[in-house]
Structure 1
Amino acid sequence: MGLVDLPRVPLGIFPTPFARVSDLAGEPGLRELYLKRDDLTGFAWGGNKVRTLEYVLADALARGSDTVVVAGGPTSNFAAMLAVAACRYGLGVTQVCYGDLREGASALKVSRRAGAVVEFTGGPDRGGMEERAAEIAESQRAQGLTSYVVPRGGATAVGACGFAAAAVELLEQLDEHDLAEVTVVLPVGSGGSIAGLVAGLALAGAGDRVDVVGVSVSRPVALARQEIAERAEACARLVGATGTPARWRLVDGRGPGYGSSSAEADRLALRVLCHGGLLADPVYNAKALLWLSQHRPELRRPLVYWSTGGALASADELTSTTAGAAVGEEARS
Structure 2
Amino acid sequence: MIFWRNVLRARVRSLMTVLGIAAGVGLFAAATAITTDLRQQIASAIGTYHFDVVIHERRAPSPFSSKLTQAQMQSLQARYGAALLPMVMGTLNEPWSAYAMVLGVTPAFAQRVPLVTGRHFTPGQREVTMGEIAAQRLNLAAGQSVAIGGESWRIAGVYRTGSRLFDGGMMGEIGPVQRLFAPEGSEGQYTLALVSTGDREATARVIAQVARDFPALRAIPGTEFAGAIRLFRVVEAFVGTIAVVVLLGTALVVTNMLMMAVAERTREIGILMAVGWTPWLVLRMLAAESLLLCAAGTVLGNLFGLALLHGVNRLESVGFGWLPLRLSAGQVAESAALIAAVGLLSLLWPAAVLWRMQPLDALRHE
| Structure 1 and Structure 2 fold alike (TM over 0.5) | no
Relative contact order higher in (CA < 8 Å, ≥ 6 apart): 2
Specify which structure has the higher proportion of helix.
2
Per the normalisation by structure 2, the TM-score is: 0.26
**Structure ID, larger Rg:** 2
